[in-house]
Amino acid sequence: MSATLIRQAGSADAKLLTDLAYTTFWDAFAHHPKNAPDDLAHYMRQAFSIEQITTELTDEKSVFLIAEIGEKAAGYAKLITGSIEEGITAERPIELNRLYSHQEYLGQGVGQALMDACFERARREGHDVMWLGVWEYNPRAQRFYEKNGFSIVGKHTFVLGTDPQTDLLMQREL
């Protein structure tokens, strides 16, 4: 197995990130009975269009990291500086907005490599807390974040299409 390389995405990665974001989100959530196909499709068309990803890539508060194995995109993470929600206690917060591994690489350490790179970047930039929202019906992700030192500090609503869903808010001091 090849080593996982983590690099920062640039504007030239818009198509790659759009495809990766769409595929990994679909794989993570399409088969859950709580997600209506129309709601999932509506959200994904908005969140993972080439135009939306291009806009996010040019946002100075957003950073995308891409995990590659053998020059193939294996996963990605998105960090947002200065983002905070009620219940998060931080002076200089950073949000882990997305962290997804391609289905093909699940269990191969891609998620952990991305998580470690996110922690490293956040510390280097002087952030005191990393926080995230994770779907209440995603126990695998919740365990992963708990293993990485995150704890639940609240909840917020995430709207998938027309379906208001509950995300658990988790934070970790850096």
**Which residue range is the domain that position 63 belongs to?**
4-173
Q: Please report, rounded to a whole number, the percentage of residues in the chain having pLDDT higher than 90.
A: 95
pLDDT at 26: 95
Please answer whether residues 117 and 123 qualify as being in contact, where contact means their C-beta atoms are separated by less than 8 angstroms. Answer: no
Instruction: Tell me which of 168 and 3 has the higher pLDDT.
Output: 168
Q: How many domains does the chain have?
A: 1
What Cα–Cα distance (Å) separates residue 58 from each residue in 51, 52, 63, 82, 139? 11, 10, 9, 16, 32
Please answer whether residues 13 and 58 qualify as being in contact, where contact means their C-beta atoms are separated by less than 8 angstroms. Answer: no
Identify the burial level of 8 via C-beta atoms within 10 angstroms of its C-beta, where 0-12 means exposed, 13-18 middle and 19 or more buried: exposed
C-alpha 77/C-alpha 68 separation (Å) is 12
pLDDT over 90 at 110, yes or no: yes
pLDDT at 28: 94
Tell me the residue ranges of DSSP E strands in 9-162: 62-69, 72-81, 93-101, 129-135, 151-160
pLDDT over 70 at 7, yes or no: yes
The CATH number assigned to the domain holding 63 equals 3.40.630.30
Q: Please report, rounded to a whole number, the percentage of residues in the chain having pLDDT higher than 70.
A: 99
Q: What is the pTM of this model?
A: 0.95
- Reading the block at residue 74, the tokens are 């294996």
Residue pLDDT, tens place only, 121-157 = 999 999 999 999 999 999 999 999 999 999 999 999 9
